[in-house]
């Protein structure tokens, strides 16, 4: 596995990541606590419109001097992590994106990418990461295992952008 910063022209490789996932439970925040609810849906990959929005986000992170690191297996992008290039309230960096291809999950790749992002954030002066996580149980539980906690209250601006997400803080 090769880990490296992505060049702007490589951002389109995001579509190589297999987002397949069968979702059976999602979290909601009620009264400042996580509540697990059974919901079923099948994520079968990237919707073309969704992929375009995520590519725009990556380009914005890249142009804003953020950090975008890919994990490559035989020149195929199988994981990606990105950090916004600025500090929130002088101490927090936003972990903007983390994706790991379906066949590479539960092998430590996501943790390795977060570790790399954490090291980069620390070098840039951050003491915590802000994570706006999709409410899928696997995703939220992953961040909680790393030590993330609910952001109470969540950042107002970031919450407005993604009100259905679970907003977390990960001390680093």
pTM of the model: 0.94
Q: Taking CA 149 as the corner, what is the angle to CA 148 and CA 155, rounded to the nearest 5 degrees?
A: 105
Task: Give the CB-side neighbour count of residue 91, counting CA atoms within 13 A.
Answer: 6
The answer to whether 121 and 83 have CB atoms below 8 angstroms apart is: yes
Q: Find tokens 């790991």 and name the residue.
A: 100
Q: Find tokens 């539980």 and name the residue.
A: 141
Over residues 15-24, mean pLDDT: 95
75-95 residue pLDDT tens: 999 999 999 999 998 999 999
Confidence of residue 23 (pLDDT cuts 50, 70, 90): very high
CA distance 85 to 12: 20
CA distance 130 to 57: 16
- For the chain, give every domain's residue range: 2-171
Number of Cβ within 10 Å of residue 67's Cβ equals 23
| Phi, psi of 142, rounded to the nearest 5 degrees | -60, -50
Considering the chain, what percentage of its residues have pLDDT values greater than 90?
A: 94
On the question of a cis peptide bond just before residue 39, with omega within 30 degrees of 0, the verdict is no
Q: Please give the CATH architecture assigned to the domain spanning 2-171.
A: 3-Layer(aba) Sandwich (3.40)
The answer to whether 20 and 44 have CB atoms below 8 angstroms apart is: yes
What's the pLDDT score for residue 48?
86
CA distance 46 to 34: 27
115-166 residue pLDDT tens: 999 999 999 999 999 999 999 999 999 999 999 999 999 999 999 999 999 9
Confidence of residue 49 (pLDDT cuts 50, 70, 90): confident
SS3 88: strand
């Amino acid at each position: 596995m090769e880990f490296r910063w992505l060049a702007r022209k490589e951002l389109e490789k995001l579509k190589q990541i297999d987002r397949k996932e069968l979702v059976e439970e999602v979290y909601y925040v009620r009264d400042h606590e996580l509540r697990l609810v059974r919901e079923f849906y099948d994520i079968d990959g990237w919707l073309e419109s969704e992929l375009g929005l995520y590519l725009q986000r990556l380009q914005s992170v890249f142009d804003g001097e953020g950090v975008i690191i890919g994990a490559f297996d035989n020149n195929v992008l199988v994981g990606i992590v990105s950090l916004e290039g600025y500090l929130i309230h002088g101490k927090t960096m936003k972990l903007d994106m983390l994706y790991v291809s379906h066949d590479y999950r539960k092998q430590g790749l996501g943790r390795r990418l977060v570790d790399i992002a954490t090291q980069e954030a620390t070098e840039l002066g951050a003491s915590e990461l802000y994570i706006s996580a999709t409410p899928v149980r696997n995703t939220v539980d992953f961040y909680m295992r790393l030590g993330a906690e609910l952001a109470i209250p969540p950042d107002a601006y970031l919450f407005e952008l993604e009100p259905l997400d679970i907003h977390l803080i990960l001390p680093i």
